[in-house]
Amino acid sequence: MADVATAAKPSEFVAQLQAANLHPLWDRFRTITPVKPQPKDPPLLWRWRDIEPFTERAASQVPIDDVERRALILVNPAFAGDTVTTSNLIAAFTVLDPGDRARPHRHTFSAIRFATRAEGAATIVNGRRCNMHDGDLILTPPMCWHGHINESDHRIIWFDAANIPLLRTLDANFFEPGDPKANQFWMVDEGEEKLWTEPGLVGTELDYPATHSPKYHYSGAATRRLLAALSPGADGSRTVRYTNPATGDAVMPALDCYAVRLSKDRATRPKRTTCNMICLVVSGMGRSTVGEHTFDWSQHDVFSIPHWTLASHTAKGGDADLFVVSDKVALERLDLLREEYQ
């Protein structure tokens, strides 16, 4: 006999539980333990041609001395105004005018920058000068001091990415500003980066942290040479993982990077994974189908592949190169990485 009185009881009971700082599991079990991941964000494409005018405006309107970094972060509105590109990750474009110095700092989040139009810029990481050339990847691992400088005669723009949202979720960010007037910070050469430039050769008495790559600078020319030397897989694609040369693992504790070359007109097998990815189009043109969305992309466009969303990519008109930054290693370390092909 389900009368009105007994039907009303659970909600009254729930209200009393809530007033006592208790929640019943039974009426919200499905919500708090979904049967599969539920990304908040649909995939999104940011076109370089839409971003570029804003980089120009940022350079002319925002003095570098007034800001920590002159970076334009790519945001998905699905995160309701929060500064997130896709779960756990942000991507941005950073602009430096000739003579600009982005002051040194360090933090617990992991970050990378990838040289799109950055010939002539340099990032100094822990006392090593890393001169940026086309397609170079530069790491700023957790708590490594870093600053940027443009000593060229032209405006410089690069792509960067970081796991700031992950560290905000964990509330594990620490940040230390450096001394903006400390000139000696900038007065360095490549320093110990020399110890990590010969693949397969490692000094035996070196002292370096095991937590992240001791190599900070990965050459674009070397990456392109290796991509060209690899034989394409069954779907025509070739993938290079950027690794810690001392361990063979991902470059940083929770940020993982890949270079992918797609063969003309060959669609990659649709795949979904529990990790999140941001793809930068390094060169070429193509089309990606990510979940329900299809994006036509060209050089320096960026698109997101939210976790557990099927993605397939095809180069058009020639081969195409993508740079992919992901939180894959974070999921791996928690034993939460699942990958599935359609």
Provide the binding-site residues for ligand GTQ, judged by CB under 6 A: 69, 71, 92, 94, 111, 146, 160, 162
Tokens, residue 5: 């009185």
In the complex with ligand GTQ, the residue whose CB is nearer, 176 or 189, is: 176
In the complex with ligand GTQ, the residue whose CB is nearer, 69 or 307, is: 69
Place of tokens 């900038």: 186
In the complex with ligand GTQ, the residue whose CB is nearer, 71 or 310, is: 71
User: From the CB of 129, what's the least distance to ligand GTQ, in Å?
Assistant: 15
CA atoms within 13 Å, Cβ hemisphere of 313: 27
User: From the CB of 314, what's the least distance to ligand GTQ, in Å?
Assistant: 30
The answer to whether 46 touches 312, Cβ cutoff 8 Å, is no
CA distance 85 to 34: 23
User: From the CB of 160, what's the least distance to ligand GTQ, in Å?
Assistant: 4
Helix (H, G, I), strand (E, B) or coil at 290: strand
User: From the CB of 244, what's the least distance to ligand GTQ, in Å?
Assistant: 20
CA distance 152 to 240: 30
Q: Which ranges of 210-282 would DSSP assign to H, the alpha helix?
A: 220-229
Non-local (6+) Cβ contacts of 342 within 8 A are 269, 270, 271, 272, 310
User: From the CB of 228, what's the least distance to ligand GTQ, in Å?
Assistant: 30
